[in-house]
Amino acid sequence: MDDAAAAPATSSGPYVEDRKPAGDADDGGGPKSRNLGILRRLIDLVRPHKARFALAVVTLLGASALTLVYPWAAKEAIDAGMKSATSAKLDKIVLGLLALFAVNAVLVWLRHYSMSWLGERVVTDLRAMVFDRVLTLPMQWFHERRSGELVSRLASDVTVVESVVGSELSMALRNGVQFIGGLVFLFVINVKLTLLMLAIVPPIVLVTLYFGKKIRRMSREVQDQLAKVSGQVQESIGAIATVQSFVREGFEAKRYRQGVESTFEKSMTMVRWRSSFFATAMSAGFAGVTMVIWLGGRAMINGEISAGQLTQFFLYTFMIAGALSELAGLWAALQRAAGATDRLFAVIDTVPDVRDAVKTTPLPDGGGAIEFHDVTFAYPSRKTLPVLTNINLQIAPGEVVALVGPSGAGKSTILSLLYRFADVDQGRISFEGVDVRDLPLAALRRSLAMVAQEPVLFAGTLSDNIAYGREGATQAEIESAARDANAHQFITGFPDGYNTVIGERGTKLSGGQKQRIAIARALLANPRVLILDEATSNLDAESESLVQAALARLMKGRTTLVVAHRLSTVRDANRIVVIDNASVAEQGTHEELLAKGGVYRRLIEHQVIGENPIAT
């Protein structure tokens, strides 16, 4: 692959699918250039395994060349049998053939083994490449897709690539060698007969191309439909409690059934075309062979070729007819694979727009100074509708700022922009005095830690979950963080202590316990800025006070940005920033804002902020 193709492209979107279309039959590029593009990408994947590939190709060529010997041996045997009464020459031919069989067996073993090895290897690399890339993609990319779709791509699209590299390419090469080799022998035997035979080949090829193109398009539709249905399943299962509590099992079942039925119909349309394809290609092939038998028979009757040569001619013709029809089938298979491969490379080639600048500025020391300067932002999916307009905000190191505002006002968006989950459209956000776009992304994000409303814990032990905050944390550090987060006591209360497994099949934690684990995780990360998304749901009083105490410890000496709903939090904040209608409506202390009688006061009166705030 040329490196130019991998260079980042500029785009106004959050990410770009940085690729020239490999060419598509349906939109003018032609299947040839598309397949060549894909072939080139596949070769890139194979390149690191040159030695295996060379072994595979050499053994493949050797084994394929050997199969060309058999028709020749048959001719020798027949002609020898017709000329002499002794079987000496026949014996020799048979012995030679046996030796060739033995060599062939070794070659076939090596060929099959190394080709399959390559297929498996490439698939493993590809899976890792896709997932590596996926992990770095911007949030927006995930919002636009269902996770099930992605899982399906990793599972089924990658398997299609495996079958191309592991078997179809090798079959294509083998049949290619047999076709060309057989043809050369045919010309050597009799030029006229060969030319006549060839007159029927182009029509077969044309028919093949026509069907191949149609089948490829249909197969793509089937794969897309299947990915859609998988997404649906993932969604239903992920939300199974909601499904069952609303008694929507019937609805979900029906939706799924419709999805799979529609896949079935699409598959069947494709199957009909494929069946016709095979039937037509086979009939054309057999009609050709019948013609050759007729012409060859006449040539022998006229004394132009010997009986042995006629047999040899037939055998080679069968060989190349078989090779050609297999090649045609492989062509269709390659078309099918092209769709799958294309989608995978589309993921791999997606270059996130949010990435390190060419030249980054090292993160200066500091205590977490944040500034939003005239920030305007709209989500790419709704470009014309700014979610934030001209936001100006200065947060000093160590300050506790409460962001409040009605639901949908843009509070979470402010936090996402600070994280650089997306970049601002206009204006600038600086951290420690440097534009966040100039900072190394990892350094920026490591300086921030979020304790979300619904903390996300991974399947694994409690230790693992706390240690997620910092790679390489020691057990002593983990326990110290847990102590500070008021989590040590309940953790040691479990029989397995820190090794208690949580997650799908493990222990379930209460809301307050989960939050304290998340706080321990954030403590371990030791960030400069703490980002809190305050829960609106009520914890029981005891949990609540434990969580609050842990939070207070976590906030000490750090800049804190909190999306606040509780009156107590808002009162304790150094400053309250009210976001409304995509901009900063007012800011100040609780008393100042109350006295003002603006948006803030209304939020309090409507209990959006309160002792028991209603969810916004």
Provide the binding-site residues for ligand ADP, judged by CB under 6 A. 140, 143, 379, 381-382, 387, 405, 407-413
Considering the complex, what minimum distance in angstroms separates the CB of residue 585 from ligand ADP?
A: 12
Distance CA 227, CA 148 (A): 7
Distance CA 446, CA 614 (A): 33
Nearer CB in complex with ligand ADP: 312/389 = 389
Nearer CB in complex with ligand ADP: 116/412 = 412
Nearer CB in complex with ligand ADP: 364/408 = 408
* Short-list 331, 33, 322, CA closest to 207: 331
Nearer CB in complex with ligand ADP: 15/331 = 15
Spatial contact of 212 and 25, defined as CB atoms under 8 Å apart = no
Nearer CB in complex with ligand ADP: 156/412 = 412
Tell me the C-alpha to C-alpha distance, in Å, between residue 242 and each of 86, 93, 238, 258, 536.
87, 76, 9, 21, 20
435 forms beta bridges with: 430
The residue to which tokens 């910092």 are assigned? 470
The residue to which tokens 């940005």 are assigned? 561
Q: What tokens appear for 340 in the block?
A: 């799958």
Nearer CB in complex with ligand ADP: 297/408 = 408
Nearer CB in complex with ligand ADP: 104/140 = 140
Nearer CB in complex with ligand ADP: 381/507 = 381
Q: Is 385 exposed, middle or buried (CB count within 10 Å of its CB: 0-12, 13-18, 19+)?
A: exposed
Considering the complex, what minimum distance in angstroms separates the CB of residue 376 from ligand ADP?
A: 13
Dihedral of alpha carbons 32, 38, 44, 45, sign: negative
Considering the complex, what minimum distance in angstroms separates the CB of residue 456 from ligand ADP?
A: 17
Q: Which amino acid is at 386?
A: P
Distance CA 415, CA 413 (A): 5
DSSP string over 123-159: HHHHHHHHHHHHHHS-HHHHHTS-HHHHHHIIIIIHH
Q: What tokens appear for 194 in the block?
A: 């060969």
Considering the complex, what minimum distance in angstroms separates the CB of residue 219 from ligand ADP?
A: 32
Q: What tokens appear for 248 in the block?
A: 């929507």
Considering the complex, what minimum distance in angstroms separates the CB of residue 405 from ligand ADP?
A: 6
507 forms beta bridges with: 502
Considering the complex, what minimum distance in angstroms separates the CB of residue 106 from ligand ADP?
A: 59
Nearer CB in complex with ligand ADP: 33/412 = 412
Considering the complex, what minimum distance in angstroms separates the CB of residue 597 from ligand ADP?
A: 22
Considering the complex, what minimum distance in angstroms separates the CB of residue 608 from ligand ADP?
A: 11
The dihedrals phi and psi of 505, each to the nearest 5 degrees, come to -110, 10
Spatial contact of 570 and 402, defined as CB atoms under 8 Å apart = yes
Dihedral of alpha carbons 48, 49, 54, 60, sign: negative
Q: What share of the chain is helix, strand, coil (3-state, %, to 5)?
A: 65, 10, 25
Considering the complex, what minimum distance in angstroms separates the CB of residue 431 from ligand ADP?
A: 19
Nearer CB in complex with ligand ADP: 182/405 = 405
Considering the complex, what minimum distance in angstroms separates the CB of residue 420 from ligand ADP?
A: 15
Nearer CB in complex with ligand ADP: 96/408 = 408
Tell me the C-alpha to C-alpha distance, in Å, between residue 575 and each of 109, 122, 178, 415.
74, 55, 80, 17
370 forms beta bridges with: 395, 431
Considering the complex, what minimum distance in angstroms separates the CB of residue 16 from ligand ADP?
A: 18
Distance CA 130, CA 158 (A): 10
Distance CA 488, CA 400 (A): 27
Nearer CB in complex with ligand ADP: 32/143 = 143
Spatial contact of 307 and 78, defined as CB atoms under 8 Å apart = yes
Distance CA 51, CA 60 (A): 14
Considering the complex, what minimum distance in angstroms separates the CB of residue 143 from ligand ADP?
A: 5
Considering the complex, what minimum distance in angstroms separates the CB of residue 616 from ligand ADP?
A: 7
The dihedrals phi and psi of 613, each to the nearest 5 degrees, come to -60, 145
Nearer CB in complex with ligand ADP: 56/609 = 609
Distance CA 244, CA 520 (A): 34
Beta strands in 252-369 (DSSP E): 350-352
Nearer CB in complex with ligand ADP: 54/614 = 614
Considering the complex, what minimum distance in angstroms separates the CB of residue 564 from ligand ADP?
A: 11
